[in-house]
Amino acid sequence: MKIAAIISEYNPFHKGHEYQIRMTREEGNATHVIALMSGNFVQRGLPAIVDKYRRAEMAILGGADLVLELPAVYALSSAEFFAEGSIRILNALNGVDMLSFGSEEGELNTLQSVAEILAAEPEEFRELLRKELSEGHSYAKARNYALARLYPHLDVDFIQSPNNILGIEYLKALIRTDSSIVPFTLKRKGKGYHDLELIEEEFASATALRQTILNDGAIKNYIPQEISVYIEQLKKDKYPFMTQEDFKDLLLYRLIAEEDSLNNILEASEGLNHRIISNLSSLMEDDVETFIDAIKTKRYARTRISRILMQFLLSFDREPIEILRRKTPETVKILALNDRGREILSFLRKDREIEVVHNFGKRTDEFQKIDQKASRIYALKNHAFDPRWDFKGYRNR
């Protein structure tokens, strides 16, 4: 048995994801595939368009064998904590052989060289990073410029590509945790992550697919057939596909009622909390996207702002998030599995350091408490999702 893991969101699952799973089996020689997947809120600071249990079912239809939930503590964090939390969970399973991820670069050597620098953080690099930050750049851009100045042979565009960024963070986390998991990367094909255009015979971006689903457009050429049937059935059932705008009133209420608590969100530092509150009239008068546009600057990227807003909506300001991000959960929850997934569970039971559970118990730990809160808030806007499934289970294939 060779178990590969894929850290994912599947928002929604598409042919690019199917290709990655297939190539992980064919080129990576994996016999079994675990998808560690974000729950009802994803890393860009958005609610998932479809709830976590149905997305997990689609992942099984698309080729995954076991879908586990990535806790919201990590799923709604920056790339560094998103990656490190994921790797900690995979390490604790004590049975994952390989980490498969897509990247624009498509080969490990360059990604690995950057990851080694970032994992070690030499003093010369830290000094350059401080200088770039002082010039008003966002952390991501400041880091990229510092790397480019220290290592001129590196292409800044290469470092800034979204899947390369995540890939580097995965590799860095593997280094820092002294992991035995072997990395495996595939060159990302098709449209860029944020591209809104759908072109026949090309892999489409998740962003374009979400927009097309919301506009009731045709997506069957861009997603696996079984998943196309699944989504068409959701449409027939009047499933409420979720957007950031659906949570506007809840977010507006929290920002008005508890604006002083916003400064307890770790990423809302350096005056960003004041900038958010000072532009609150924009949220009252317009949509969430316009509100974020009013806040963003060269230093404050819209993804960071969007993530802060979702963190605040889920009351991250009331939780020990900084401590939790550095910890490994005691449990990880199953969202879906097939027969090969059951084989994985039988294999992992031998010496895993983390409990794999079908459902939350009567006493939830700190991670589960936040995930359950996320489920309950998501259910306020999605009548087709029942937060009690976290305790009762959904259905397995």
Which pTM does this prediction carry? 0.93
**3-class SS of residue 334:** strand
Q: What is the per-residue pLDDT for 198? A: 52
For 282, the token pair is: 């924009």
- 204, pLDDT greater than 80: yes
Quickly state the pLDDT bin for 215 (edges 50, 70, 90).
very high
Q: Which of 89-93, 204-208, 285-289 has the lowest mean pLDDT?
A: 204-208
List of E strands, the chain = 3-8, 32-38, 41-42, 46-47, 66-70, 98-103, 182-187, 331-337, 355-357
Q: What is the pLDDT of residue 201?
A: 47
- Per-residue confidence at 211, pLDDT binned at 50, 70, 90? very high
CATH fold for the domain made of 3-105+184-189+329-392: Rossmann fold (3.40.50)
SS3 36: strand
The segment(s) of the chain belonging to CATH 3.40.50.620 are 3-105+184-189+329-392
**Cα separations in angstroms, 62 against 10, 15, 16, 223, 382:** 10, 8, 10, 9, 24
8 A C-beta contact, residue 93 and residue 354: yes
